[in-house]
Amino acid sequence: MAVSLWKSLLQTTKSRLFLQRGVSLYNGVHGFEEEAIKKKLQQFGGGSINLSKEDHGIRVLTLNNPKQMNAFTGTMMLELQERVTELENWKDGKGLIIHGAENTFCSGSDLNAVRAMSSSEDGMNMCMFMQSTLTRLKRLPLISVAVVQGKALGGGAEFTTACDFRLMTPGSEIRFVHKQMGLVPGWGGAARLVQIVGSGVALKLLSGALKVDPERAVHLGLAEETLPSSDETRSLEEAQAWLNQYTKAPAEVIQAVKKVVTAGRELQLEAALWAEKDIFGTVWGGPANLQALAQSTKRK
């Protein structure tokens, strides 16, 4: 009796905890000093993370540091956390498009900052900071699409895996270059890549630091499709049209859909079923459900 009670308590906690907003993966127990790393990251300025106004439930997040091929400076890492918090509190959100400024995605960490943060303590804190932020991004109750124009290298390649889908433009490239730096992914990109393409393909892409062009990415299941245009504006319009196919419902329904899928991906079966039950309860008898019931029974 006590064991099953304990198990139920654990399942309920797990199924609710992972849906909570703003929860970091790490704390002091893991040696994570968030305030210390935020202070350190503040020293490495440049670039910005911009978030557009919403348009039909969709917003565009731009990695904006074109002088450095949209490499992630310290302040951009801090701004990303702020934007993710904003998105976690966006009640009417349905979709998020992520791209890099000036027709290239992201060249990974700013190597100037990396060189200055080469101590183990700084590296581990940056790693835990970015893992937490990108995990929160992946768990947003929004359908997220990375539009890969130009190059997504290193941490930039990892960033694409923190989105639900990837769309690539002709001539673009995703490449996990970490091996060439004597590294492995540190922003959660390895764990997510294995979930996306499987461990065998992930091992090849990481150990070979292989260039993945759009055709190969689609073949491997890393990208959904190659967009027709390589023009920055046109390809964003094409990505918006692609995303619109999946966001044709009230925000609370799209958000519930993403949450049940996240639960199924991240939780053990019983905890996932508990989470699904809780999420189902938020839409059963809700305005969208009642409106649908009041209409004809035939689905278009």
Ligand X SMILES: CC[C@H](C(=O)O)C(=O)SCCNC(=O)CCNC(=O)[C@H](O)C(C)(C)COP(=O)(O)OP(=O)(O)OC[C@H]1O[C@@H](n2cnc3c(N)ncnc32)[C@H](O)[C@@H]1OP(=O)(O)O
- Counting residues that bind ligand X (by CB under 6 A) gives 20
| CA dist., res. 180 & res. 111, Å (int) | 13
- Stretch in the footprint of ligand X (CB under 6 A) among 5-13, 34-42, 179-187, 221-229: 179-187
- Stretch in the footprint of ligand X (CB under 6 A) among 3-11, 52-60, 64-72, 164-172: 64-72
Strand 151-153's sheet: what is its strand order?
151-153, 173-175, 211-212
**Residue (103 or 244) nearer to ligand X, CB:** 103
Does 110 engage in binding with ligand X (CB under 6 A)? yes
Does 24 engage in binding with ligand X (CB under 6 A)? no
The answer to whether 126 and 76 have CB atoms below 8 angstroms apart is no
| CA dist., res. 39 & res. 34, Å (int) | 9
**How near is the Cβ of 41 to ligand X at its closest, in Å?**
12
Does 153 engage in binding with ligand X (CB under 6 A)? yes
Strand 165-168's sheet: what is its strand order?
48-51, 58-64, 95-100, 143-148, 165-168, 225-226
**Residue (148 or 279) nearer to ligand X, CB:** 148
Q: Using CB under 6 A, which of 15, 75, 81, 107 touches ligand X?
A: 107
**Residue (132 or 247) nearer to ligand X, CB:** 132
Q: Using CB under 6 A, which of 64, 75, 109, 161 touches ligand X?
A: 109
What b/e sequence results for 253-291 when a residue is b if at least 16 CB atoms lie within 10 Å of its CB, and e otherwise?
bbbbbbbbebbeebbeeebbebbbebbeeebeeeeeeee
Quote the tokens at residue 258. 């993403």
Does 129 engage in binding with ligand X (CB under 6 A)? no
**How near is the Cβ of 4 to ligand X at its closest, in Å?**
42
Contacts of 257 (CB under 8 A, 6+ apart): 249
Does 68 engage in binding with ligand X (CB under 6 A)? yes
Which residues make up the interface to ligand X (CB under 6 A)?
Answer: 68-69, 71, 107-112, 114, 151, 153-155, 177, 181, 183, 185-187
